[in-house]
Chains A and B, each alone.
Chain A
Amino acid sequence: MDKPDTALRRLTAATAALAALPLLPHLPPLLAGLVLLLCLAGYLLPKPHRLLVLAALLVSLAMLMLAFHGRFGRDTAAGMLALMLALKCLETGSLRDLRALLGFALFLPFAALLDNQGPLTLTLALIGMLAWLFALQSTSTGALEWPHGRWRQVASGMGRQLLMALPLAAALFWLFPRIATPLWGLPGLSDTGAGLGDSMRPGQWLDTLADDRIAFRVSFDGPAPPPAQRYWRGPVLWDFDGLEWRRTRQDSTPAVQPPSDAGTRAGIGYSVSLEPTEKRYLPVLDWPGAAPAGYYLSADGGAYGDKPVQRLTQYRARALPSPPADTLAPAARLRALAYPRAFNPRTQALARQWRAEAANERAYIARVLQWIQRDFAYTLDTPEPGIHGVDDFLFGYRRGFCQHFSSSFALMMRAAGIPSRVVTGYAGGYRNPYGGYWLLYRRDAHAWNEVWLEGEGWVRVDPTAAVAPENILDTLGTGTGDGQDAAGGGALSPLLDIGDLLRTRWNDWMLGFNAARQTQLFRNIGLAEAQRWQMLLVLMALAALLSYAVFLLAGRMPEPVDPLEKAWRRVLAKLERIGLGKRRHETAPDYAARLAGRAAWSPSLTDAARRYTALRYGQTPVDPRDVRALADDLRALARRIRRAR
């Protein structure tokens, strides 16, 4: 009993691989390959020596460290779980081992869903769970009877179980009390990834600008604003050290005096569905009137939360048509003018010279923008910056992307005595023609500048747009831009658009269900202000009812396939209904004899019972014609009983 046969070991190894499947796309390819390899080894090889397993364990751990660069996070833990499980496939020696393996395999699909709740991952997880169920069924007997040629039966059995489980699962899903505020946070990823953050250095965004994943989806309440106004504000960077722009922790704390709510009635209303970023900021449309509910605005106009965005987050906000009236505090002014004097001497000299030649700040800014527009080119292919990065860019290669432009422009302003800062965020977007909403990809990440002009406040200036507006405001464009090309192009694009529309609906209806929507649901079915325990009570009553329904459904006698048996049972059921049921111990002729003379159909019943007994239990060979004739007679008899009543 304790020594599982090879077939069972193989089945468990295959189940482990299937359970790990939804997780594999989220793991580094090296690790995913290793997991599959180990499962395959568990499938093909007998249990190896203990030392060999130990060696495999050490190698796997080393590769895990290598794949995650020695950092430890949520994804490292998931990778480790998958690896351990795959290793366990190698050394299953008893039925107990197999059970333990199956028990822990349960965790893998859930680990995958923690990272991605998309329909594909859920489908893969579901397949993994069905395989798990089949493995459990097979191990419960201790020996696998491989269903040769009975796969349809197995599949229909599985389908039946799934169907019977669905009502209860749905009831639990909708009615189980949800937790409004998380009790504990999610551990972070080992690599918080490229993209917008608290710092920016030239060249750092190359991966991000090639990333085709979706950053967020937006639907505007009214018509969409023109492209030149669709700047999605992220972290604002203040401090420059000659190479890198940064912001401090204090910059992300709530503003001392948040902007007044006066303007929030007007402006552009929109709702955003933000994919996980592992960062604390929310992209908001310039200029944010107020922070979305549950979040706050920082002094420099960004929206932040207390925790990183680790799951799909939906929020509503309003944008003001113009920046709110603001004053620049002396400390902030000094910060917005600071720059290291030791670096980029040529830039500093040029800025001072041009500022002296210009009549006012506006003229100076116009001259710089003109220069950039005339002499510079937009490209993602840039050399690595040297120690005087801005000098190299402005007077050397003169091509680059938003990071170079915004960084150099801000220095030009500061060196000329104009307070300025770098704003990171997103610009552009692609409109899904079927859903009417806008998609912003990670490659739409952008950096631009804000300069402080007395009397006007912070004014947005986008030097990159001066060079290549189509690259910034066009992914952009009005539905015919890079978005489609990058997404696969031409003939396939309607399919992709519809696919994304479905995904959006999935996000809204499936993933967006939470405590608030649940309360709404209860209110809709008349349970206003339902207490938690009342909800549980309703749920338990429903669960009991559903379980009883399953009990009745699953406990039904199997339908006889033999037409004669079917017809005979129908007659018996008819008689049972009029109170003349057959007793268990009675044979068919005895029963007919008991009912003799009861009604007009009694003689035919006696005749049918005699023939039924002869055909079923008689010694003579059965003629199929007799069977058919009797079945017909029985059906006729059943009809007569119905009429007689």
Chain B
Amino acid sequence: MRALAAWRGYFGERWQRMPWLRAGARDAQPFSVGNRRIYVLPTGFGLFVGTALAVLNLGSLNYNNNAALLLGFLVISLCTNALIAGHLALLGLRLSTDAPAPVFAGQALQLPVVLETDKPDGRRLLLECGTDRRELALATAETRATLPIATARRGWQDIQRLSVSTRHPLGLARAWCHLNLHARALVYPAPSGKPLSALPPAADGERGRRHRDRSEQPHHLREYRPGDARKQIAWKASARAGNLQVREYERASADELALDWRSLPHLAHEARISQLTRWVLEAERRQRRYALLLPGNRIGPDSGAEHRHRCLKALALMPHG
């Protein structure tokens, strides 16, 4: 078994590099699985059963044992028909995927997959992407599933292709097909480091929330964007305007947080990015206005979900040190 594993490891890597095994051109979605895209190969167990059947039939042929031959040929036919059934289990399946929401490095991307079939018979399928897998049963005409894809580092993560496989119906063979995605998903850096309070206090110190309403003047109203805090909504103005209006405060510049790359010279490259990520998250959670200062790039000051995303994306796409 160890030799087999080693063999698999060696050739598995090789195979990944073979041109004809690389993902082909991107498939239009929804993708309908056709005959030419389905591969069927026996599993280890299937090979064992096949060998056993071959030996048994050879013995029966040698002794011209007709009863055993009849039984043997019947089992062989049943098994070959099972290969066809495995092929048919995938044929005509309609696949579509959606873009996964960004996650932090170390968390799993959730790739939404929709499978439609005309024959919902409860057969089991395995969704795979690299080493990530998810089992599901096709019990309804439309099945929705999410495939968790592990992430290790920040930045764009390529999702080359998704494979859908099944060992239906006997487990003797594995039928599979590839869905070429060529999609990429954003992975934010993993947050770590000291909390935000450890940041050098701004000019007049951090203010409590209770002071803010008195000292700050509402600067202007703008339209509600998803992610805005409920407290910021100007309910009376919203009632007049007919849509949700949000107060924007013009704060003293000292009240803004400057999350500066250069203020962390003592940290390593990746640690800096992680620290800034953590601060961005905390600042957003505290509903502070903050600016992110990266080498050659200044974002903000601003607040809100979109700003947060822009900051995290900029951090995620920092060159790898």
A residues lining the B interface (CB < 8 Å): 99, 103-104, 106-107, 109-110, 113-114, 117-118, 121-122, 125-126, 129, 133, 136-137, 139-142, 145, 161-162, 164-169, 172-173, 176, 178-179, 182-184, 186, 310-311, 510-515, 547, 550-551, 554-555, 557-558
Given A103-B52, A551-B88, decide whether A311 and B75 contact each other with a Cβ distance below 8 A. no
Which residues on B sit within 8 Å (CB–CB) of A186? Answer: 63
Q: Looking at the complex, which one of A107, A162, A176, A511 makes contact with B52 (CB distance below 8 Å)?
A: A107
The answer to whether residues A176 and B61 also contact, given A136-B171, A137-B170 and a CB cut-off of 8 A, is: yes
Contacts of B48 in A (CB 8 A): 103
Stretch of B77-85, B106-114, B225-233 with 4 or more beta carbons under 8 angstroms from chain A: B77-85
A106 CA to B197 CA in the complex, in Å?
A: 70
Cross-chain contact of B169 among A107, A114, A137, A166 (Cβ < 8 A) = A137
Supply 30 A–B pairs (Cβ within 8 Å), ascending by A: A107-B56, A109-B71, A110-B60, A113-B65, A117-B68, A118-B67, A122-B67, A133-B78, A140-B124, A140-B168, A140-B169, A140-B170, A140-B171, A141-B167, A161-B78, A165-B74, A168-B73, A168-B80, A168-B81, A169-B74, A169-B77, A173-B73, A179-B61, A182-B63, A184-B62, A186-B63, A311-B65, A514-B64, A554-B88, A555-B91
Q: With CB as the reference atom, state the residue of chain A lying closest to B120.
A: A558
Q: Which of A167, A176, A510, A554 contacts B67 (CB 8 A)?
A: A510
Interface size class of B (residues with CB under 8 A): 35 or more
B304 in the interface (beta carbon within 8 A): no
Q: Are B70 and A122 in contact (CB under 8 A)?
A: yes
Smallest Cβ-Cβ distance to A510: which chain B residue: B66
Return A438 CB to nearest CB of chain B, in Å: 24
Quote the shortest CB–CB distance from A442 to chain B (angstroms).
Answer: 22
Contact across chains for B80 and A547 when beta carbons are under 8 A apart: yes
Bound complex: CA A172 to CA B69 (Å): 9
Judge if B12 is at the interface, Cβ distance under 8 Å: no
Contact assessment for B68 and A166 in the assembled complex, using a CB-CB cutoff below 8 Å: no
**Does B59 count as interface, using CB distance less than 8 angstroms?**
yes
Known contacts A169-B77, A510-B66; A136/B170 CB under 8 A? yes
Q: Which residue of chain A is the closest to B59 with respect to CB atoms?
A: A110
Known contacts A103-B49, A165-B74, A166-B74; decide if A550 and B81 are in contact (CB<8 Å): yes
Contact A129 B52 (CB under 8 A): no
Residue B276 at the chain A interface, CB threshold 8 Å: no
Residue from the list A103, A141, A172, A179 in contact with B62, Cβ < 8 A: A179
**Which among B70, B87, B168 is the interface contact of A169 at CB below 8 angstroms?**
B70
Q: How far is the CA of A436 from the CA of B65 in the complex (A)?
A: 27
Q: Please list the 10 inter-chain residue pairs (A to B) with the smallest Cβ-Cβ separation, ordered nearest first.
A: A140-B171, A165-B77, A117-B67, A168-B77, A172-B73, A113-B68, A169-B74, A169-B77, A169-B73, A165-B78
A121 touches B67 (CB 8 A): yes
What separation, in Å, do the CA atoms of A161 and B67 have in the docked complex?
20
Cross-chain contact A166 with B77 (CB below 8 angstroms): yes
Determine which of A145, A172, A515 lies in contact with B76 in the assembled complex, contact meaning CB atoms within 8 Å.
Answer: A172
* CB within 8 Å for A179 and B59 given contacts A172-B77, A554-B85: no
Q: Which of B45, B71, B85, B87 is in CB contact (< 8 Å) with A122?
A: B71
Min CB distance B189 to A, Å, is 33
**Chain B: minimal CB distance from A188 (Å):** 13
Q: A110-B59, A165-B78 known; A126 and B170 CB under 8 Å?
A: no
Contact A161 B81 (CB under 8 A): yes
A110 x B172 contact (CB < 8 A): no
Which among B70, B72, B122 has the highest number of chain A CB atoms within 10 Å?
B70
The residues of A that contact B60 with a CB separation of less than 8 Å are 110, 113
Do A554 and B84 have beta carbons less than 8 Å apart?
yes
Contact B73 A164 (CB under 8 A): no
Question: Measured between alpha carbons, how far is A182 from B62 in the docked complex, in Å?
Answer: 5
Q: Would you give the shortest CB distance from B297 to chain A, in whole angstroms?
A: 45
Q: Kindly list chain A residues whose C-beta atoms are within 8 Å of the C-beta of B45.
A: 99, 103
Closest to A140 in B: B171
CA A142 to CA B133, docked complex, whole Å: 15
Contacts of A173 on B, CB cut-off 8 Å?
A: 66, 69-70, 73
Answer yes or no: B119 CB below 8 A from chain A CBs. yes
**Assembly CA distance A168 to B74 (angstroms):** 8
Beta-carbon nearest neighbor of A121 in chain B: B67
Q: How far is the CA of A422 from the CA of B320 in the complex (A)?
A: 101
User: Which residues from B are CB-within-8-Å of A145?
Assistant: 122
Give every chain A residue within 8 A of B87 (Cβ-Cβ): 551
B13 at the interface (CB under 8 A from A): no
Check B64–A178 contact: CB distance below 8 A: yes
What's the nearest-Cβ distance from chain B to residue A140, in Å?
3
Question: Is there an interface contact between A513 and B66, defined as CB atoms closer than 8 Å?
Answer: yes
Instruction: Using CB atoms, name the residue of chain A closest to B86.
Output: A140
Asked whether B115 is an interface residue with its Cβ less than 8 Å from the other chain, the reply is: no
In the complex, the chain B residue whose C-beta lies closest to that of A106 is B52
Q: Which of A126, A162, A547 is the one whose CB lies under 8 Å from B71?
A: A126
Complex Cα distance, B61 from A178, in Å, reads 6
Cα separation A558 to B120 with both chains bound (whole Å): 10
Closest to B169 in A: A137
Contacts of B171 in A (CB 8 A): 99, 136-137, 139-140
Given contacts A103-B52, A139-B171, A554-B85, contact A114 B77 (CB under 8 A): no
Question: For residue A121, which residues in chain B have a CB less than 8 angstroms away from its CB?
Answer: 67
A265 to B49, CA, bound (A): 53
Q: Would you call B150 an interface residue if the criterion is a C-beta within 8 Å of the partner chain's C-beta atoms?
A: no
Residues of A within 8 A of B81 (CB): 161, 164-165, 168, 547, 550, 554
- Give A181 to B122 CA distance when docked, in angstroms: 49
Interface readout for B243-268 with A: 1 if CB under 8 Å, 0 if not? 00000000000000000000000000
Interfacial chain B residues near A512, Cβ < 8 Å:
66
> Within the assembled complex, what's the spacing in Å between the Cα atoms of A186 and B59?
9
Q: How far is the CA of A117 from the CA of B66 in the complex (A)?
A: 8
Query: A140-B170, A511-B66, A557-B118 known; 12 other A-B pairs, CB under 8 Å?
Result: A103-B45, A107-B56, A110-B56, A114-B68, A126-B71, A129-B71, A140-B167, A165-B77, A165-B78, A169-B76, A176-B73, A555-B88
Contact residues in B for A547 (Cβ distance below 8 Å)? 80-81, 84
Whether B67 and A511, one on each chain, are in contact in the complex, defined by CB atoms closer than 8 angstroms, is yes
Could you tell me the distance in whole angstroms from the C-beta of A159 to the nearest C-beta in chain B? 12
Say yes or no: is B53 at the interface (Cβ < 8 Å to chain A): yes
B121 to chain A: closest CB distance in Å? 9
In Å, the complex CA distance between A404 and B122 comes to: 73
Task: Please name all residues of chain A whose beta carbon is closer than 8 Å to the beta carbon of B122 when the two chains form the complex.
Answer: 145
Chain B residues with Cβ below 8 Å from A311 are: 63-65
Contact with A along B144-170 (1 / 0, CB 8 A): 000000000000000000000001111
- What residue of chain A has the Cβ atom nearest to residue B122's Cβ? A145
**Among B45, B67, B70, B78: residue with most chain A CB under 10 A:** B67
CA distance A139 to B46 in the complex (A): 13
Point out the residues of chain B lying under 8 angstroms from A129, CB to CB: 71, 74-75
CA distance A165 to B70 in the complex (A): 12
Residues on A with beta carbons closer than 8 Å to the beta carbon of B169? 137, 140
The interface centre, meaning the residue of A114, A145, A167 with most chain B CB atoms within 10 A of its CB, is A114
A10 to B68, CA, bound (A): 27
Known: A121-B67, A140-B169, A554-B88. A106 touches B53 (CB 8 A): yes
A644 CA to B110 CA, complexed, in Å: 54
- A555 — which chain B residues lie within 8 A by C-beta? 88, 91
What residues of chain A lie closer than 8 Å to B168, measured between beta carbons?
A: 140
* Chain A residue, CB-CB nearest to B48: A103
Instruction: Say whether, besides A133-B170, A161-B81, A557 and B119 are in contact (CB < 8 Å).
Output: yes
Instruction: Tell me if A125 and B71 are in contact (CB < 8 A).
Output: yes
User: Shortest Cβ distance from B198 into chain A, in angstroms?
Assistant: 45
Residues of A close to B76: CB separation below 8 A: 168-169, 172
Taking a contact as CB atoms under 8 Å apart, the answer to whether A141 and B124 are in contact is: yes
CB distance from A437 to the nearest CB of B (A): 20
Shortest distance from the beta carbon of A543 to any chain B beta carbon, whole Å: 8
**Residues of B with C-beta under 8 A to A110:** 56, 59-60, 68, 71-72
Q: Chain B contacts of A169 at CB under 8 A?
A: 70, 73-74, 76-77
* Residues in B whose Cβ lies below 8 Å from that of A513: 66
Residues of B within 8 A of A310 (CB): 63
Complex CA distance for A122 and B72, rounded to whole angstroms = 11
